[in-house]
Structure 1
Amino acid sequence: MPQTAAAVSPQTVQADADADAAAALPSFGIALGQPLYYWPRETVMQFYASVADAPVDRVYLGETVCTRRHEVRHAQWLEIARMLRDAGKEVVLSTPVLVESDTDIAWMRRACAQHDYLVEANDLGAVRCMAGRPFIGGPHLNVYHADTLAWLAGLGAVGCVAPVEMDARTLGALASARPAATRIEAFVWGRMPLAFSARCFTARHHRLRKDSCEFRCMDYPDGLVAATGEGQGFFTLNGVQTQSATCLDLCGETLAMARMGVDMLRISPHSGGTLEVVQQLAAIRAGRQAPAPSGITPAGAQRCNGYWHGAAGIVWEARS
């Protein structure tokens, strides 16, 4: 007797179709940048306990803004790193951006001296400290063209984070001309890190000296917004760091970035909304959700496209 074909459920057909659609999508990794704000130790620990279960591929750890922030010390960052590595995450230890004091140098050297985790080098002193070992070039190395990227690759760079000021065309050109073994990472969500200064703006706001700041940064878990005379948020003060007041939201451009050769998309942690954005990127990557702006911003901030369209980075421009 002829055999009757087994019935296939509509759910199975839909699951197969979703799998085929996801396989046709360009792939990208999801990276979680290091926390840029000064959070209490318990908040940091709770946050990374949640990150362990999140669909994040790479996690950056360490203090990059101000080494006076001591709620989480180097040994505790290593404990978090081990926990996240056991959860299947790639862990990267980041070095300080503005290296001025002996304390800054010590933080940088501790990160570079260990061999268990990849290092994000955020200044050329850290690049030299790596002595040819593999590292990731941080966004503040200001790699704008392929010659600089090739030079860093010759010094050991296996990846590079694009500066936030880079527009889509320039980023595509950098990705297409990169050395074969070098991966490109780009920011997609969070307040944009713009500049660093020897002066602590948060301490100055409270009429305090930098060395006796009373750790006022902890009062602002998403930074202190500075407004223009007309009341428009213009910058965010975060100790010695200046950030955008608006929140970058390029979640709608994720597949476009992947098609141009960007390997990793970075989310910058904030006190709320971070893991929700991670879930949205994971859904886009899996084909369960069409690319679209996240619609999530920290602390009621306005959103912006950054410099993606080559326009002023503070504005939001909706494009189909």
Structure 2
Amino acid sequence: MTVSQPKLTLGPVLFNWKPEALRDFYFRVADEADVDTVHVGEVVCSKRSPFFAPMVPEVVARLAAAGKEVVLSSLALIMTERELREARDLAGTEDTLVEANDISVASMIGGKPFVVGPLVNVYNEGTLAYLEGIGAIRTCLPAELPAEVVGTLVKAAKGEIEIQAFGRLPLAISARCYHARSRNLAKDGCQYVCAEDPDGMAVDTLDDEPFLAVNGTQTMSYHYLSLLTDLERLRALGVRRFRLWPQAVDMVAVAALFRRVLTGATASAEAAAELEHLCPRAEFANGYIHGREGHLYLESDA
């Protein structure tokens, strides 16, 4: 039996980067990043979409010409008629895979192949079977699942299972904009203040301990997930696809580092030390995959 080689996915940019910076980011990914799949699309806030939308066709064409598989990612929370129309238009896309980050988008796709995003709660074989039954060919699992559950879902899956492996984790989405409220602004008059925090806004506890991060209407982990030292274990469970979330760091170098570990060119401990230099302001965690609190960082044999 031929075992497929591991693949790297670059998830959609979750932050409010300037349109030109976002375009140039994807152009560099197309030209330089050693990733197999790239997600493009607004997941967090539809108010951001109009600024980058005119550039999407050029970005998709550039990525496809570079041999990358392109996936168009949907919003994670659909609340208005405009957002509903845009979701239906996205679901009707014929030539490009769509990632459903809201279960309603999965139903809109109407039996065509699609990708299930990590904000759709797939925690058991029954949910996975239902989604695959309506067309899901790849499922990116929520980050809080321990390795044992991941292994169970890999065995049950007919399609691909993807694991989040790097970056701040998208934990929840809200109708309210915490970023706007932090500046005493209403959501409708937010002045796009989320753009001031290209890696998210850290949130501290009353004891001044870093706790979470806020990105517009989205709650994220404060820590960066890093599964570099867990890749071998996950591959042994049958995982063949790993997602890297874009952060305001050198993502080309991050992708190269993960690729070197996956191919055995670099030891995971050495790579983990190198990742710290690439992300000097980050604190790392991998507790969930070990069945522990998500903010912990544990050695691979923990």
Partner of 2:179: 202
Partner of 2:117: 138
Partner of 1:311: 292
Structure 1: runs of 5+ lacking an equivalent: 1-23
Q: Of 280, 302, 308, which residue of structure 1 is paired with 2:283?
A: 302
Q: Classify 1:25/1:128 alpha carbon distance in 2 versus 1 (closer, same or farther; 3 Å).
A: closer
For residues 272 and 29 of structure 1, what CA distance do their matches in structure 2 show?
A: 21
SS at match of 1:234: strand
Partner of 1:247: 224
Residue 88 (str. 1) matches residue 70 (str. 2): no
> Contact 1:25–1:285 (CA<8 Å) still a contact in 2?
no
Residue 229 (str. 1) matches residue 206 (str. 2): yes
SS at match of 1:195: strand
Distance apart, 1:96 and its partner CA: 0.3
Residue 186 (str. 1) matches residue 167 (str. 2): no
Supply the AA of the counterpart residue of 2:142. Answer: P
Partner of 1:260: 237
Q: Classify 1:196/1:140 alpha carbon distance in 2 versus 1 (closer, same or farther; 3 Å).
A: same
Aligned identity (percent) is: 35
Q: Classify 1:103/1:172 alpha carbon distance in 2 versus 1 (closer, same or farther; 3 Å).
A: same
Supply the AA of the counterpart residue of 1:41. Answer: P
Alignment of 1:101-116 (within 5 A): 101-116=80-95
Q: Classify 1:131/1:26 alpha carbon distance in 2 versus 1 (closer, same or farther; 3 Å).
A: closer
> Contact 2:37–2:70 (CA<8 Å) still a contact in 1?
yes
For residues 291 and 26 of structure 1, what CA distance do their matches in structure 2 show?
A: 21
Supply the AA of the counterpart residue of 1:315. Answer: L
> Contact 2:229–2:300 (CA<8 Å) still a contact in 1?
no
Q: Classify 1:25/1:279 alpha carbon distance in 2 versus 1 (closer, same or farther; 3 Å).
A: farther
Partner of 2:15: 37
Residue 168 (str. 1) matches residue 147 (str. 2): yes
Q: Look at both structures and tell me which one has the larger radius of gyration over its CA atoms.
A: 1
Aligned-pair Cα RMSD in Å: 1.8
Distance apart, 1:188 and its partner CA: 0.5
Q: Alpha-carbon deviations, 1:63-112, whole Å to 9, x = none?
A: 00000014643342222111100000000001100111123213312221
Q: Classify 1:248/1:318 alpha carbon distance in 2 versus 1 (closer, same or farther; 3 Å).
A: same
Distance apart, 1:314 and its partner CA: 1.1
Q: Alpha-carbon deviations, 1:210-239, whole Å to 9, x = none?
A: 000000011000010011122211010101
Q: Alpha-carbon deviations, 1:13-59, whole Å to 9, x = none?
A: xxxxxxxxxxx997310000000000001111121111012111000
Partner of 1:118: 97
Moved more, 71-80 or 260-269: 71-80
> Contact 1:27–1:258 (CA<8 Å) still a contact in 2?
no
For residues 3 and 248 of structure 2, what CA distance do their matches in structure 1 show?
A: 31
- Runs of 4+ aligned residues of structure 1 deviating over 4 Å after TM superposition are 296-299
Supply the AA of the counterpart residue of 1:98. Answer: L
Partner of 1:46: 24
Q: Alpha-carbon deviations, 1:140-197, whole Å to 9, x = none?
A: 1111111111111110010100001111111111111212xx0000100000110011
SS at match of 1:139: coil
Q: Alpha-carbon deviations, 1:224-262, whole Å to 9, x = none?
A: 001112221101010110001111111111122222111
Partner of 1:158: 137
> Contact 2:4–2:240 (CA<8 Å) still a contact in 1?
no
> Contact 2:198–2:248 (CA<8 Å) still a contact in 1?
yes
TM-score, normalised by the number of residues in structure 2: 0.93
> Contact 1:226–1:236 (CA<8 Å) still a contact in 2?
yes
Q: Classify 1:248/1:217 alpha carbon distance in 2 versus 1 (closer, same or farther; 3 Å).
A: same
Structure 2: runs of 5+ lacking an equivalent: none
Q: Classify 1:306/1:115 alpha carbon distance in 2 versus 1 (closer, same or farther; 3 Å).
A: farther
TM-score, normalised by the number of residues in structure 1: 0.88
Q: Classify 1:298/1:77 alpha carbon distance in 2 versus 1 (closer, same or farther; 3 Å).
A: farther
For residues 246 and 62 of structure 1, what CA distance do their matches in structure 2 show?
A: 24
